[in-house]
Structure formats: structure tokens, C-alpha cells
Amino acid sequence: MAKPTTVSAAKLLILIGDGATPEVFAAPCGLTSRGINFSKETNDTQVPDCADPDAPQWVERVTTALSGTVSGSGVLAQEALATWRTFFFSTESRNCRIRIDGGTGWGHWEGKFLCTTFNVTGENGEKVGVEIELQNDGEITWVAAT
């Protein structure tokens, strides 16, 4: 068996663009858990067997929409508070990159996102925490590392 090439979870980064020209992307400090989830909406149609109308019908599906959700949680770093607060309260989407910083063969997803969740939590005896969620606003593309 050949050993797979893997990367530390710390190398999965959520980078937010600053809107400048040229645009600079930075990962807000404090997130210890990060992820991106893709989903597909479909329409289902039951297709009968013309040779045997009594046979169970197979379901065929047509893709109608694609979407992506980015999530993160961790400690609320004071240095990142303004970034998350501004992003959430803005009605404008921002350019973001979700990068797997593992060298050749990896890369990043890129697209416009809205910050749809910004939760600040706290429990006695622990640090203040943060949970964020970003929803795509249009197409998400993959850019391979060079």
C-alpha cells in the first residue's frame, strides 16, 4: 500500500479579500476549525419502463443549482473582530478564497461570499469563541496551485 499525501488541518485557510486593487487576501486569526461544504439541488423525475409498465420506476435527476457554504469556529481574536463584524453587517458580498496550503497539486476555491452567521460565544473558564458561516453569491471556482 502506498502512503497518501496529506496536509495538516491548519493548512486549510479561509481568506477574505479587502476589496482593494490589487486585492489582498488574509486569514482572520483565531479559527481552529474550518470547512467548505458543497451541495447540489436537483429535480427528480420517475421514468417508467416502456417495455414493462408494471416494473418499479427508476428516478432520474437533473441538477438545478450548486451552492457552497464555508464554516469556521475557534477563539475570537481581537485582531479579527472588526473583520468579522464588518463582513457580517455589510450587505455586499466579498471575494474569498478557501485555500489548502499544501504545495503543488493543491490550490484554492474562489468566489464571492456573504457572511450569513456571526456568533460570539462564551463560557466561564474559557476564552470567548466565534462561529462564522459564509454562503456563496455566485459561482465558486477551483484554482490549482502552481
Residue 27: closest CA among 106, 138, 141, 134? 134
Q: Which pLDDT value is given to residue 145?
A: 87
Mean pLDDT in residue range 30-52: 97
Q: Which pLDDT value is given to residue 93?
A: 98
Residues making up the chain, counted from first to last:
146
C-alpha cell at position 118: 456571526
C-alpha cell at position 54: 408494471
Chain segment 66-100, per-residue pLDDT in tens = 999 999 999 999 999 999 999 999 999 999 999 99
Q: Write out the E strands in 12-146.
A: 12-17, 25-26, 31-47, 58-75, 94-100, 107-121, 129-144
Q: Give yes or no for a contact between 135 and 67, defined as CB atoms under 8 angstroms apart.
A: yes
Q: Check pLDDT > 90 for residue 27.
A: yes
Domains and CATH numbers, the chain: 9-44+56-144 (2.30.110.20)
